[in-house]
Amino acid sequence: MCLAIPARVVELMDEDMARVDLGGVRKEISLALVDEVALGDYVIVHVGYALSKLDPDEAEKTLALFAESGLDLQAIAEGSA
Amino acid sequence: MCLAIPARVVELMDEDMARVDLGGVRKEISLALVDEVALGDYVIVHVGYALSKLDPDEAEKTLALFAESGLDLQAIAEGSA
Amino acid sequence: MQANYTRPLDLKRGRVDLSHGAGGRVSAQLVRELFARHFANPALDAGDDGAVLPAPGPGERLVMATDAHVVSPLFFPGGDIGCLSVHGTINDVAVMGARPLYLSASFILEEGYPLADLARIVESMARAAREAGVPVVTGDTKVVEQGKGDGVFISTTGLGALPAGRTLSGNQARPGDAILVSGTMGDHGMAIMAQRESLAFDSEIVSDTAALHGLIAQLLEAAPSVRVLRDPTRGGLATTLNEIASQSGVGMVLEEKAIPVREQVDAACELLGLDPLYVANEGKLVVVVPAEHAEAALAALRAHPLGSDAARIGEIVEDANAFVQIRTGFGGKRMVDWLSGEQLPRIC
Amino acid sequence: MQANYTRPLDLKRGRVDLSHGAGGRVSAQLVRELFARHFANPALDAGDDGAVLPAPGPGERLVMATDAHVVSPLFFPGGDIGCLSVHGTINDVAVMGARPLYLSASFILEEGYPLADLARIVESMARAAREAGVPVVTGDTKVVEQGKGDGVFISTTGLGALPAGRTLSGNQARPGDAILVSGTMGDHGMAIMAQRESLAFDSEIVSDTAALHGLIAQLLEAAPSVRVLRDPTRGGLATTLNEIASQSGVGMVLEEKAIPVREQVDAACELLGLDPLYVANEGKLVVVVPAEHAEAALAALRAHPLGSDAARIGEIVEDANAFVQIRTGFGGKRMVDWLSGEQLPRIC
Amino acid sequence: MKYVDEFRDGEVAATLAEAIAREADTGRRYAFMEFCGGHTHAISRYGVTDLLPANVRMIHGPGCPVCVLPIGRIDMAIRLVLERPEVILCTYGDCLRVPASDRLSLLKAKARGGDVRMVYSAADALALARKHPEREVVFFAIGFETTTPPTALVIKQAQLMGLANFSVICNHVLTPSAIMTILESPEVRELGTVPLDGFVGPAHVSTIIGSRPYAFFAEEYRKPVVIAGFEPLDVMQAIRMLIRQVNEGRAEVENEFTRAVSEEGNLKAQALVSEVFELRRSFEWRGLREVPYSALRIRAAFAAQDAERKFDLAFTPVPDNKACECGAILRGVKKPTDCKIFGTVCTPENPMGSCMVSSEGACAAHYNYGRFRDVPVVAA
Amino acid sequence: MKYVDEFRDGEVAATLAEAIAREADTGRRYAFMEFCGGHTHAISRYGVTDLLPANVRMIHGPGCPVCVLPIGRIDMAIRLVLERPEVILCTYGDCLRVPASDRLSLLKAKARGGDVRMVYSAADALALARKHPEREVVFFAIGFETTTPPTALVIKQAQLMGLANFSVICNHVLTPSAIMTILESPEVRELGTVPLDGFVGPAHVSTIIGSRPYAFFAEEYRKPVVIAGFEPLDVMQAIRMLIRQVNEGRAEVENEFTRAVSEEGNLKAQALVSEVFELRRSFEWRGLREVPYSALRIRAAFAAQDAERKFDLAFTPVPDNKACECGAILRGVKKPTDCKIFGTVCTPENPMGSCMVSSEGACAAHYNYGRFRDVPVVAA
Ligand code: SF4
Ligand code: SF4
Ligand SMILES: [Mg+2]
Ligand SMILES: [Mg+2]
Ligand SMILES: [Mg+2]
Ligand SMILES: [Mg+2]
Ligand SMILES: [Mg+2]
Ligand SMILES: [Mg+2]
Ligand SMILES: [Mg+2]
Ligand SMILES: [Mg+2]
Ligand SMILES: [Mg+2]
Ligand SMILES: [Mg+2]
C-alpha cells in the first residue's frame, strides 16, 4: 500500500509547490505537508504530496548495514577457507 | 416554402391527435388547428399539424378544369383536321 | 485452482468495459468467446497478428476496398450494422468486377455497450459472411470511453480477385451507353430514417442491405462488356451518377419515370421533404453498359432475386461539364446535381 | 459562373461537419483536397470503390492484418495517430514474415474536429506510408456527431506477400528457443500517459512508433529459422509473451535484468505504480528463435537503427500450463501473467 | 399518393402546355412572380419552364422563410447556444445550414459544442423541454403564416403547463407585407422598368389566411393574383389563369387551390395566432432589408416563453455581401446569372446571399436544377 | 533512481540472504506478518521468498486500503453517482475496479453512464470542483495514515475557499487498530494455533505516525516490530532484524527505515489530520468485519465537505462470499491455495474476496506472481 518514492527537489515554486526529479522525469508536487524543504533535498512523494524528507545520512547507514552482512559473509568465508 | 401534403386520417386518437396515411406510410399528427375532422378525411399536413381539410369535390373540379384544356385541344385539333 | 481459468463472458447482463480493449486477458477472452467463435475459420483461428491466405489465381489482380460503418440505430428493419458492414465492403469489391475473397473487421466499441447486443451484431455479421462465402479472417477491437463513441463502429476491408482483362471503373462510361439500376432506390436510407426518434413514422420499408457479388457475377456473364458498376450508397443514385459522370467526363440524361422507387419510400420522402434519388441504398447496383448489350444486362439482372426490379433509366451523353440531366415525369428537364451538404428533413 | 466550382476547403479555420461524411459534393472535396492529395498513388487516384492492385509473385501467399487506432491524445511526443495507424498495421503484416504491400484507411471523424489538425494527421500518415514504401490505396471517411466520437479514429488494414515456405506464427515456439526483444520496453505507452491531463509529468520519453518491416527483413535474412515474431503493443511485453506461450503450449523463463527499459520509463512507472512490462510499444519486436541462431539474430537486430538496443531476454521451456516466469534482478523468481483488466495508475 | 399524383401527371401537363401556348398572345411578353419557394421548387423540380412558351417568364419571389431570415437572427441563436451550456436550441432542419457570421451556421455551432437539435415539429421541441427539466429548451421558430399556428400552439401549451424551461425565438414573417414591398419597389412602380404582370399566390399560407388578403393587391396595384397549389399542374393552371386575366385586362384574385383554400382561411388558427403574437413594427428580411409590419413577436402575456426577453437577446444587423444581387433578383430586375459571383464564390455549399441559402431560393434553384442550361454542352 | 536502485541490488540481496540463512535457527520456524501491501508487493514482485530459508515464512497482512474497503462503501459511491447526474465522482485508480454489489464496480458504473473520473492526487479532485462549479464533485478518499493528510488538506482548502460543490466520502482507516484486531484474534491469542513471531511494520504510514505507536504491540503482546522501507532489501533486512529479536527473546520496535521515519513522525500532517478528522466508533474492514475505532470521519466543523452528510448516504453492509477464506488468510491461519475457489471462481478479473481485489492482496499477489509454484510443470 501507499506507493511513494524518493525524488529530488529541483525547483521551489509558489504556494508550497515544488518540482521534483525522479530518474529524469519531472513532476509538480505539493510541499504543504512538510516543513523546511530545500533545493536538492530528497522527499518521499505520495499522491502528489511530499510526506517527509529523506535523510541521506540515515540512508547511507542503512546501506552500510546491508553491506555489513556482506562483510560478515566475506570474513566467514575467509575464515572457513 | 411550407412543405405540406394531403394525407388520409386513418385513426382518431386522444388529445386532438390522429394517425394519417400517405401512400402506406403512417404518422401521428395533431388536429389541434382544425375542427371537425372525421375518419377518412384528407387533411393538409405541415410540420406534424393538419392545417386544413382537403375538399374532394373541389379537387375533382380542379382536375376537371385541367382536363378541359385537353378537350379544347382535341376539339381544336379535330376542327383543324 | 486451475492454472489459467477465466470465468465465461456474461453475454446476458455484461457490458463492454475498458478492459475489453486493453489487450490483456479480458480482451483475449472477448476475441475467443465472441469473435473467434462466430467467425471461425482457419486463418482467424491461428490467432496471429495477421491472417495468412492463399493468393488469387495466376493472372488475377487484387482488389482492396474499405468502409467505416457508423449507422444509427445499430439495428434497423432489414438488418443491423453487423450484416451491413459485411455487405457494404463486399459490394465495393464486387463492383470492381472482383470475386470477394476475404474480409477484415475492426471494431470500436463504446464503454457500457451491452455484450448481448454486441453478440447479436457479431452473429449477424458472421451469418452474412457465411452466406456470402467471404470469411472474416482477421480483426481488431478497441474500446473507447463512454461519450467518445456510439455503441459500435465497424470498419471492414475486403479483398478480392480480379480476373485478367477485366476493367470496371467509373472512368469507363462512354456516350451512347445505357444506364441501368438493379432495383428500387432509397430503401436503406429511408428504413434508417424511419427509426430516428425525431422523425418516427410507421412503414413497411426495410433496408435492402445485401451482398451483390452473386448478382454481379450473373450480370458480367451475360454482359461482359459492362463498363461501370457502382453501389449507390451514401448520397444515393444522384451522387453516384455524378461521380461516374465526372470520372468519365461525360454527361447523362435520365428518364425520371423509369427510376424504380417504392411507393412508401416516395411517400416518406414527401413527408420529410427529401428526394429519393439522394437516399442511400445498400443492396443496389448502378450499371453502365454499351447500349447494344443493355437488354441482355437488364435481363440478367432481372433473372436474379436481388435484381427483379432492375430498370434501364437513362443514357450517357457527350458533355465535358459532366452534368446529369433528367427528363421529369412531368415533361420538363432539369439537372440532378451532387448531394449538397447532407440530407436533412425540410419543412419548406 | 463555373460549371462545377467548389471553394477550396478552409484548412486553417474550418472544422469537420456532418456534410464531410454525407457522401455528397463536400465529401468528395474532402477526399480530393486532403486524402487523395497527400496519399497520391495510381490505385487511389482512380477514385473507384476499390483499388485494383498487382497480386504478389508466384508461390507467395497473402497476409492481411487490421487495427483500429483510437489513441488519446491524437498528437504525442514522437508521433500522432496518423503515423501510428500506418506503423501499427504494417507491423502486424511484417511480423507474419510478409512484405507489406498496401494499406487501406478508414476514418471516423467527430463533428467539430479542426480541419487543420486533420490535415496534420493525414500528412503524417502519408509521410509514414511513403517512408515505409507502403501506399494507402483505398479509404473511407465517416463523420459522427459531436459526443459520439473522439476527434479521429483510424482503422487501417494491411496487405502483404508471404514468401513460399515461410511460416511465422505464435504457435511455433519450442522449448530451448531463445527470446529476444529489439529494444527498450514501454516507450510508447509512457509517452502517451505523460500527456494525460490527470497524470501530467515532464520527461523526454518519446513514442517508439516505427515501421518494422525493414528491421524484420534484415533479421530474417540473418536468421531464417526465426519461429515467432510479434510486436508487443497493447498489454506490453508481458501479454505478448503470454499469448505466444499459450499459442505454442510452452512456458518461458525470462531474465529481468536483460530486459531493456529506459531510465525515464522506469521512473515514470515508479511514479504511477505501473510495470514497464505491461506498457505498450509501437516499434518493437519480440523474436523467438532457435538458440543456435539467437546470436546471429541478435546481431542482425543490433545492426539496424531500430534494433540497436536489442537484447536476449529469456528462453522457452517445456510447460503445458504456458506460464511465463521471470528471474528477478533481485535473485528471486515469479510469474509474469497476462495483463489483468487494464493499466491504471495506482497509489497503493 | 391520392391528391398528389393526379396533380403531377405528365400527359395532362402536355395538354395544359398546349392550352397555355394557345392562349398566350404571341405579340406580348408575360412576367409572373411566384411568391412562394414552394412554387419555385415545383417549377424547377418538374421542369415547368420547359412547358411554357418563350414569352412567359416566371420570376422567383422571396417566399422562402429560410432565405429571408437575416444573418443577425441566426447569429443571435448561435451566441445563445454557445454561451449558455444549459440551452438546447431546437429548430427545423431547414435552418441548420443557413450561414451566419464568422463562417458559422447552427450546424457548425453544433460542431463547436453547442447543443443544437433538429426537430420535425414544434411539438417535438415542447416534448424535449418536458424531458429535460434541467435544461433550457429554446425553439428557433421560422416560417410564414403556415408554420406560425403550431408555434402559437406550443407557446400556449407551455404557459398552461407552467413549463418554465421552454421558450421561443420568434422569426415568423408575413406574406402580404413582403408582396407589398415588392410592389412598392421603384422598379416595379415605375411601369415599364420591370414587367410584373401578376402573382401566383401562396398555397399553404393561404389555407391559413384565406384568399381575401390578396384582394388589396389586385385592386390597389392592378395585379392579378391566382392562388395555386404546390403541385406542378396547379402552377401551370394558375399561369394559364393569369394569362387569361392579363389578356382580358382583369386584375382579380382567383383561387386555383379551392380544394384547400377558402376565402376566410382557417379561423381557428388565425385566432390562436393573434392571441399569442402581435405585429413587429419592422423586421429585417434578407434581400429586402427592413420591411415594416412584416413579422410577428410574442405578446407580453407570454413573455415567459419569449426567449428574446428571457435571455435578453439583441439583434445586430449584418450587411449582405456587396456583390450579391438578391434584392434585384427578388424584385424581378435581375436573374441569378446576372450576379457576378453566382456559381463561383456563391454556391449552395457557401452561399453569399439569401437566394442561395435554401433550395427554394432563386439562385439555389437555378444552381441545382438549371445551371446546365447556361453552359453549352461541350464534347469531351 | 537514487535511494531506490541501491535498495534493490541483487548482489547485496545475495549476501543478505546468506546472513539470514546463517542467523536463522534451523531448529525452529519463523512466521512474520508484513502488515503492508507495499511489503507484500515487494516480496512477490522481487521474489524475496526465494531468498529466504524454508523455515522463514511470510504472512500477508491486511495492509492494502483497497482490499479492506467493504463492498457497502463502494455501493454507496455507485448509488450516488448513478442516481445524481450532477455528481462527478473522483477517486484514485486503485478504487475503480473494486467489485461491488450487482457485479458492478466504479468502472462499470462509469460504463453505465456515471461520471466517474480517476485522479492522481486529492488536489486534482479539488481542481475539478473549481473547474466545474455547476457540478458536484465528490472525492471518494481511501487510504491509511499515509494518504489521509492530503485529503485533510483539500477538505480544509475547500472550506477556506468556500467551495460549496466539493465534498469527500471518507474511507480512511488506521493501521494500529488493524494490527490489534489481528493480535486479538482467537487463533493468534491462543498461543500455538497460529505462529506469529513478529511484524514487518509499515514504511510510509510510519513516515506520518512515526515509530512510537507500535511500542504498545511490542510491549503488550510481546511481538517484535521492525519498521521497514518498501524496497526488497529493506524487507530482507527487517526479516533479519526480526529473526535476531526472536533469537534473542526481544520484542522491541526497531526502525530499519530511518532514512524517512522518525520516532514522532510528521507532526504537521498529524495536526492537520486531527483538525479535520475524528475517530469513527467502528468501521467495517473487508475480511476483518467490524473493527472498533479503526477509521476516521470528517468532523462536524467540516460538515459541508462531508459527502455522507451532504447527500445523506447510508452504508448497507454486504456479506462476503461464504466460501471466501480471507479472514483466516489475513490472520495467518490459511494460505490462498487453501481457499476452494481460489483461481477458479475467484480470480483477479472476478474477485470474490478482499484478498483478490488489488494486486497487493494475499490472494491476488499469489495468483499473479506465484501460482506457477502450485502446479507441476507439465510437458506439452
Ligand atoms: S448568386 Fe449568391 S450572391 Fe449572387 S445574387 Fe444569388 S445569392 Fe446573392
Ligand atoms: S481466493 Fe478469493 S474467495 Fe478465496 S480467500 Fe482469496 S479472496 Fe477470498
Ligand atoms: Mg469503400
Ligand atoms: Mg461501400
Ligand atoms: Mg461503393
Ligand atoms: Mg490488433
Ligand atoms: Mg453516446
Ligand atoms: Mg491487428
Ligand atoms: Mg498492430
Ligand atoms: Mg501486433
Ligand atoms: Mg466508402
Ligand atoms: Mg468528445
Per-residue pLDDT of C292-324, as tens digits, reads: 999 999 999 999 999 999 999 999 999 999 999
Residue E285 Cβ contacting ligand 1 at under 6 Å: no
pLDDT at C284 over 50: yes
The pLDDT-based confidence of A81 (bands split at 50, 70, 90) is: very low
- Which residues from B are below 8 Å from C204, CB to CB? 24
What's the whole-number mean pLDDT along residues C89-104? 98
DSSP annotation of C35:
I
Q: Taking Cα atoms as reference points, which of F341, F283, F357 lies closest to residue F317? A: F283
Q: Taking Cα atoms as reference points, which of E101, E296, E63, E57 lies closest to residue E197? A: E57
Domains of chain F are 66-175+265-310 (3.40.50.11740)
Q: Are D63 and D160 in contact (CB under 8 A)?
A: yes
Q: Could you give the angle at the alpha carbon of D93 between the alpha carbons of D91 and D97, nearest 5°?
A: 100
Name the closest residue on chain B to residue E40, using Cα atoms: B1
Cell numbers for C270: 414527401
Residue type, E305: Q
pLDDT tens profile E215-248: 998 998 999 999 999 999 999 999 999 999 999 9
pLDDT tens profile C184-222: 999 999 999 999 877 789 999 999 999 999 999 999 999
F103–C10 C-beta distance less than 8 A: yes
Per-residue model confidence (pLDDT) at position E287: 84
Mark residue D112 as left, alpha or beta (left: phi above 0; alpha: psi -120 to 50; beta: remaining). Answer: left
Q: What are phi and psi for residue F353, nearest 5 degrees?
A: -130, 170
Cell numbers for C135: 470469411
What's the whole-number mean pLDDT along residues E260-282? 97
F123–A69 C-beta distance less than 8 A: no
Tell me the C-alpha distance between D332 and C164, whole Å.
63
Q: Are strands A25-30 and A5-12 parallel, antiparallel or unpaired?
A: unpaired
B47–C273 C-beta distance less than 8 A: no
If you write DSSP's letter for every residue of D115-165 in order, what string do you get? HHHHHHHHHHHHHHHHHHT--EEEEEEEEE-TTSS-SEEEEEEEEEEEPTT
pLDDT tens profile F63-113: 888 889 999 999 999 999 999 999 999 999 889 988 899 989 999 999 899
Nearest residue (by CA) to ligand 2, atom 7, is F353
**Is it true that the peptide bond before C73 is cis, omega within 30 degrees of 0?**
yes
Handedness of CA D188, D190, D191, D197 (dihedral sign): positive
Which residue, chain included where needed, has cell 474476496?
Answer: F353
Residue type, C237: L
Q: Are F23 and F243 in contact (CB under 8 A)?
A: yes
Q: How many Cα neighbours within 13 Å face the side chain of A7?
A: 32
Q: Taking Cα atoms as reference points, which of F279, F43, F294 lies closest to residue F144? A: F294
**CB-based contact, E343 to chain D, within 8 Å:** yes
* D295 Cβ contact list (under 8 Å, min separation 6): none
- Which residues from D are below 8 Å from F348, CB to CB? 340-341
Mean pLDDT of chain C: 96
Tell me the C-alpha distance between B30 and B51, whole Å.
9
Burial of E30 (0-12, 13-18, 19+ CB in 10 A): buried
pLDDT at F230 over 90: yes
- Which residues from B are below 8 Å from C267, CB to CB? 22-25
DSSP annotation of D24:
S
Tell me the C-alpha distance between D294 and D286, whole Å.
12
Nearest residue (by CA) to ligand 2, atom 6, is F363
E344–D112 C-beta distance less than 8 A: no
CA distances from E50 to C333, C334, E56, E59 (A): 7, 9, 11, 15
Q: What are phi and psi for residue F56, nearest 5 degrees?
A: -110, 115
Tell me the C-alpha distance between F90 and F113, whole Å.
14
Mean pLDDT highest for which of C333-347, D2-16, E154-168?
E154-168
Q: Taking Cα atoms as reference points, which of D48, E104, C162, D348 lies closest to residue F202? A: D348
- What subunits touch chain B, counting only 3 or more CB pairs under 8 A? C, E
The pLDDT-based confidence of D51 (bands split at 50, 70, 90) is: very high
**CB-based contact, B17 to chain E, within 8 Å:** no
Residue type, F122: A
Residue F341 Cβ contacting ligand 2 at under 6 Å: yes
Chains A and E touch (3+ CB pairs under 8 A): no
Tell me the C-alpha distance between E215 and D228, whole Å.
89
The better pLDDT of the pair D88, E326 is held by: D88
pLDDT tens profile D6-29: 889 999 999 999 999 999 999 999
**CB-based contact, A69 to chain F, within 8 Å:** yes
- Most distant CA pair in chain A, distance: 62
**How close is the nearest chain F Cα to the Cα of D333, in Å?**
5
Residue type, B62: T
Q: Taking Cα atoms as reference points, which of E312, E299, E307 lies closest to residue E156? A: E299
Looking at the DSSP bridge assignments, the partners of residue D326 are D254, D334
Residue E208 Cβ contacting ligand 1 at under 6 Å: no
Q: Taking Cα atoms as reference points, which of D284, D154, D148 lies closest to residue D219? A: D284
pLDDT at A45 over 70: yes
Instruction: Out of E286, E341, E347, E359, give the residue to mutate to test ligand 1, the one with the largest number of ligand atoms within 8 Å of its CB.
Output: E341
Cell numbers for F292: 472498533
Q: Could you give the angle at the alpha carbon of F285 between the alpha carbons of A52 and F105, nearest 5°?
A: 90
DSSP annotation of F303:
G
Mark residue F135 as left, alpha or beta (left: phi above 0; alpha: psi -120 to 50; beta: remaining). Answer: beta
Torsion angle in degrees (nearest 10) through CA of D304, D307, D308, D312: -130
For residue F308, the surrounding DSSP H or E stretch is: helix F307-310
Looking at the DSSP bridge assignments, the partners of residue F63 are F36
pLDDT at A1 over 70: no
Report CA(F211)–ligand 5 centroid distance (Å). Answer: 73
Which residue, chain included where needed, has cell 509501437?
Answer: D282
The pLDDT-based confidence of F358 (bands split at 50, 70, 90) is: confident
Q: How many Cα neighbours within 13 Å face the side chain of D183?
A: 25
Q: Which CATH number fits domain B5-78: 1.10.3720.10, 3.40.630.30, 2.30.30.140, 2.70.98.10?
A: 2.30.30.140
pLDDT at F140 over 60: yes
The pLDDT-based confidence of B75 (bands split at 50, 70, 90) is: very low
pLDDT at E115 over 50: yes
For residue D289, the surrounding DSSP H or E stretch is: strand D286-289
Mean pLDDT of chain D: 96
Give percent of chain C above pLDDT 70. 100
pLDDT tens profile F294-350: 999 999 999 999 999 999 999 999 988 889 998 888 888 889 999 999 999 999 998
**CB-based contact, D348 to chain F, within 8 Å:** yes
Residue F356 Cβ contacting ligand 2 at under 6 Å: yes
Q: How many Cα neighbours within 13 Å face the side chain of C66?
A: 33
pLDDT tens profile E295-334: 999 999 999 999 999 999 999 999 888 899 988 888 888 8
Cell numbers for F59: 504472512
Q: Which of F38, F123, F259 sits opposite A48 (nearest CB)?
A: F123
**Is it true that the peptide bond before D73 is cis, omega within 30 degrees of 0?**
yes
| Domain extent listing, chain B | 5-78
Name the closest residue on chain F to residue D341, using Cα atoms: F349
CA distances from C59 to C102, C228, D221 (A): 19, 21, 29
- Model pTM? 0.95
SS3 annotation, chain E: CCCCHHHHCHHHHHHHHHHHHHHCCCCCCEEEEEEEHHHHHHHHHHCHHHHCCCCEEEEEEEECCCCCCCHHHHHHHHHHHHHCCCEEEEEEHHHCCCCCHHHCCHHHHHHCCCEEEEECCHHHHHHHHHHCCCCEEEEEEEECCCCHHHHHHHHHHHHHHCCCCEEEEEEEECHHHHHHHHHHCHHHHCCCCCCCCEEEECCHHHHHHCCHHHHHHHHHCCCCEEECCCCHHHHHHHHHHHHHHHHHCCCCEEECCCCCCCCCCCHHHHHHHHHHEEECCEEEECCCEEEECCEEEECHHHHHHEHHHHCCCCCCCCCCCCCCCHHHHHCCCCCHHHCCCECCCEECCECCCHHHCCCCCHHHHHHHHHHHHCCCCCCC
DSSP annotation of A24:
T
pLDDT tens profile E174-208: 999 888 888 888 877 776 667 889 999 999 999 99
pLDDT at C160 over 60: yes
Kindly report each contact of residues A73-81 with a partner whose C-beta sits within 8 Å and lies 24 or more positions away, as own/partner: A73/F15, A73/F18, A73/F19, A73/F22, A76/F22
Interface test with F, best of D196, D250, D330, D342 (most F CBs within 10 A): D330
What's the whole-number mean pLDDT along residues C160-188? 97
Torsion angle in degrees (nearest 10) through CA of C279, C285, C287, C293: -140
Cell numbers for C74: 445499430
Alpha helices in chain C (DSSP H): 25-30, 37-39, 42-45, 81-94, 115-132, 187-193, 213-222, 236-248, 263-272, 294-302
- Which residues from E are below 8 Å from C330, CB to CB? 8-10, 13, 46-48, 51, 232
Tell me the C-alpha distance between C188 and C237, whole Å.
12
Domains of chain D are 46-162 (3.30.1330.10), 178-335 (3.90.650.10)
C15–F349 C-beta distance less than 8 A: no
Cell numbers for F234: 529493506
- What subunits touch chain F, counting only 3 or more CB pairs under 8 A? A, C, D
